[in-house]
Structure 1
Amino acid sequence: MADWEIRPASVADVEAVAELRAVVLRADLERLGRYDAQRVRQRLRDGFAPEHTWLIEVGGVFAGCVALRPAEDAHWLEHFYLVPHRQGGGIGAAVLRGLLERCDRDGTVVRLNVLQGSPARRLYERHGFTVETEDPVDVFMVREPARAGARAGARTS
């Protein structure tokens, strides 16, 4: 796995994140008949909350982003994207593990939605997310906080 760092996002990062979203979601949105080059970027711009967003950098170069937005009954994991050539190398799993450990310590439920058919769903399932509801476009998933002293995927006897 490449050396990576995570840093808080700023308002100035919105266009880089919007562009990454368009690249990463394109194949899934096209498969679902929902790709619109302008809309995919504008939806990110409209919901971008830098105070809840972090950028992932590899060697000081922008490689991805993730947001963890507090809501009434949970935190929403949003805008979790890695540049295509960094996907599958363990960075996403490491970033997700760190965020979930923080939520576990706080006793926080985490929710997300992923596009139907997205390979990202397997990553979320490996980290303890389960399907709550789904529709023809989205799968809504939830993860309860792990018990103190227990880890996702750990065996108990």
Structure 2
Amino acid sequence: MSVSSTPPQSLRLYPSDLVLRAQTTADLDFLQDLFVTRRWAEVSAVTGWSDAQRRAFLHSQAQLQRQHYEKHYPSADFQIVEYAGAPIGRLCVDRSARELRVVDIALLPAWHGQGIGSELLQSLLSQADAQRQVCSLSVEQGSRARRLYERLGFEPCGETSIHTQMRRPARAHQE
């Protein structure tokens, strides 16, 4: 499966241009490739590894991530983000009575900066507000995504050496 899907030039996305659909086993190759694109630069910093070794390592990490999500978020909604019938990302959301947790949100690099992540998160925040739920997520230290989360009202609520936990309290829902 190719992950070279690139947005058309001068693309102006509207919510109706994107489709969220349930993830299936047929998406596993795409998800593995998506994981590789997200982590390639990070693993490339490791000297002495060939591209094949990097790819094999990242494939094993993708599988471990999938197993972790399935174990710790068994009732989560695992969805594929599509544009024009092609997968361009993934969204995983775990809902409970008090909290909406964004477990994972990822787009192919060519689709960064198009407003898709903002649109997806704003939709989730509206859902959380309607249910009077806190919305939470985890962001890696140094990730550029943290600026987006802060713009949307998320605040740090805990840190590890790798991640910052963030949450946004429910706001009054407006119909």
TM-score range, shorter chain: 0.7 to 0.9
**SS of the counterpart of 2:94?**
strand
Matched, 1:37 2:58: yes
1:1-157 → structure 2 map (5 Å cutoff): 1-2=12-13, 3-27=17-41, 36-46=57-67, 47-48=69-70, 52-71=77-96, 73-149=98-174
CA root-mean-square deviation? 2.5
- CA shift digits 1:66-105 (9 cap, x unpaired): 1111257522202200000000011111111111111110
Sequence identity (%): 27
**SS of the counterpart of 1:45?**
helix
In 2 relative to 1, CA 39–121 (structure 1 residues): closer, same or farther, beyond 3 Å?
farther
The structure with the largest alpha-carbon Rg is 2
Give the gaps of 5 or more residues in structure 1.
Answer: 151-157
In 2 relative to 1, CA 41–26 (structure 1 residues): closer, same or farther, beyond 3 Å?
same
In 2 relative to 1, CA 41–90 (structure 1 residues): closer, same or farther, beyond 3 Å?
same
**SS of the counterpart of 1:78?**
strand
Task: Give the TM-score, by structure 1 length.
Answer: 0.80
Q: Distance in 2 between matches of 1:19 and 1:104?
A: 34
Contact 2:156–2:167 (Cα < 8 Å) also in 1: yes
In 2 relative to 1, CA 65–50 (structure 1 residues): closer, same or farther, beyond 3 Å?
farther
In 2 relative to 1, CA 72–105 (structure 1 residues): closer, same or farther, beyond 3 Å?
closer
Query: Amino acid of the residue matched to residue 136 of structure 2?
Result: R
What is the aligned length?
Answer: 147
In 2 relative to 1, CA 7–53 (structure 1 residues): closer, same or farther, beyond 3 Å?
same
Give the gaps of 5 or more residues in structure 2.
Answer: 1-11, 46-53
Query: Amino acid of the residue matched to residue 80 of structure 1?
Result: I
Q: Distance in 1 between matches of 2:100 and 2:130?
A: 13
Contact 1:14–1:45 (Cα < 8 Å) also in 2: no
- CA shift digits 1:111-148 (9 cap, x unpaired): 11111001111111111110001122111111111123
Task: Give the TM-score, by structure 2 length.
Answer: 0.73
